[in-house]
Amino acid sequence: MSMDFLTFFDDFKITGTGKHAHPRTEADDRDAMHRSSLPCRQLNLLRDFVDGESDSFASEDGPTFLWDAQIEDISSRNDLVAIENSPVAPKDQAHEVMARPIEWYFNGLASVIPTAQRHDIGIEIPNEDMPTYHADSEALAGVRSVVANATASTHWLDAATNLASALGLTAVFLSNVADRNNEGFDFINDLTRTVRIYFDSLARNATPSVAGQALNTLVSSVCNENFMLNPVQMVEILSCTLSYARWDDTRILAFDAIAKADAAVTTFLSTLREHGDQADTNEVDMTEASVLSGLIDHDQTEDLHTHYDHLMLFLRHDLLRLSGDHEAANRVLSDHVGTPPFADVLAARLIHEERWEDLLGFCDTLLAHSPNQQLLLFPMDIAPYGWDSLREGALESLGRREDLRILYRQRIVEAYDADEIFNVHCLKALSADDWPDQVRRIVDEYDDGLDRFTRNMAYEHLLISEHLGEEACRYAENFPKARAKLAKTIAAYQPDTARRIILGPLGLDGSYHGNLPNRREAYRRIVRALTKYASVFTVAEAQQVASRLVERYPSRRLLAEALHAFLE
């Protein structure tokens, strides 16, 4: 059931509880003073993204990471159909209902797997012989029944007890099966969401005393090794505390629950370390912790602790945000800018609030200390250069022309992909009369691509658009595969070199050494080369080459047919 930290946030939505008050404008008066005719492509991209598609994580009430407003909507609708005082199955009966199908499932496997061994405490099946778990086996049918019974009732404490038991039993079951298709993982995710929805109703409707007991029961159920070895699932369940944080009379219960979970995790991991150290000195007992420490080494224990701490940062932030302590929540963001996506959200708020000087300083600091830190919330089409794209937007808003020229020159010099050609257009639009000087600086800084291993499409575009024949010749010497593309540019400076580039590879440079292959594909290549030649020089010259070629091979009828357009 383990998940990578970043995978956990692949599909998450950043949500907020309010709408921003700043209307979208093309440029405010302050920007207009700085920019005048300054291009604002990146600035408008960032504004549109933050104030439009991702308005929620830049809202006035701040962002949240784990809180889902849909949970409140669903729980409110469920309140309307819940059966007041509907009986909840007693704890022992609920456990029997859940455990029986699971027992049948393992008994069925034991009857058909020769390597299965029965013990007093259960059935042991080697991992390699364990078949893949499928949901249609109905091993968790009892869990579904108990959950349905609990969530239909307003007997809050009894229902919470059974829901906690359902989570625990499901976790134990999934830790003992081969969930190769993630069907069990999907089940416990759905179950966790159901529990969160029910606890949202509970926090809103139950008395603080009952709500506190219910939450304590839930937290106790997840403070075991099955969940503590899987921090993602554990923190998701602990997110039930967010519903408590929104109410004055239950808020303290949420923070107490988190403190209890922290203490349990700290104790558990300390025990693992202790038994791991004993194993190193051969002082080993056979407690459950010692068995686990034999499976988890010291580095893995530390990674587990780090993983848990990272995830809990998101939960702590949301607890503060939903409690109304926005200043403390903002401090969590600013104190952990090295933890994505905290830095992203902080940048989004600066964009939303039009605090461009602050954004520029923030980007400069982050790029100086963590140049490889990725943006998680801004997609590639909005910020293709990551944090440098956010910095670009800030420079545009502040009218920093020289800084923008430096930025675009650097990008052009370091470019390689055709998608980066737009930097040439941006620099030219920004430079006006200074454009020739900018071109010369780029040529000097790029130095013909010496010691570089990849062609630069942006630089090639500049060579062609600015008719830099001499520079194109030098560049083509370092990157021979660019010769055909640059032939027309080179022709203006060294026409004979361009002729050799176009005709030489096909043996059409005037020497005609060797025998021309008698194949249609060879003839088609000749036609393409002559077409290129005509576009670079003249049609008449291409016709002369074609005539000489046909005269040299008068018996090749197919060659004459292929070149008929140049012979008419």
pLDDT at 57: 58
Residue 178 bridge partners (DSSP): 132
Sketch the domain layout of the chain as residue ranges.
Answer: 37-58+338-476, 69-323, 506-566
Of the listed ranges 44-58, 128-142, 281-295, 308-322, the least confidently predicted one is 281-295
In whole angstroms, how far apart are CA 144 and each of 100, 109, 165, 167, 441? 13, 21, 12, 11, 69
pLDDT in tens, 103-160: 999 989 888 888 878 876 678 888 888 899 999 999 999 999 999 999 999 999 999 9
Residue 79's pLDDT band (cuts 50, 70, 90):
confident
Q: What are phi and psi of 89, to 5 degrees?
A: -55, 135
Residue 509's pLDDT band (cuts 50, 70, 90):
low
Q: Are 463 and 440 in contact (CB under 8 A)?
A: no
Q: What is the arithmetic mean of pLDDT over 254-262?
A: 96
pLDDT at 545: 84
pLDDT in tens, 359-387: 999 999 999 999 999 998 899 999 999 99
Residue 56's pLDDT band (cuts 50, 70, 90):
low
Cα(211)–Cα(231) distance, integer angstroms: 24
pLDDT at 244: 97
Cα(215)–Cα(157) distance, integer angstroms: 9
Q: What are phi and psi of 199, to 5 degrees?
A: -70, -25
Give which of 66, 29, 7, 22 is closest to 321, Cα–Cα: 66
Cα(399)–Cα(36) distance, integer angstroms: 8
Q: What is the arithmetic mean of pLDDT over 227-255?
A: 95
The answer, yes or no, to whether residue 473 has pLDDT greater than 80, is: yes
pLDDT in tens, 306-344: 899 999 999 999 999 999 998 899 899 989 998 888 999
pLDDT at 272: 81
Q: Name residues whose C-beta falls within 8 Å of residue 561's C-beta, 6 or more positions apart in sequence.
A: none
The answer, yes or no, to whether residue 554 has pLDDT greater than 70, is: yes
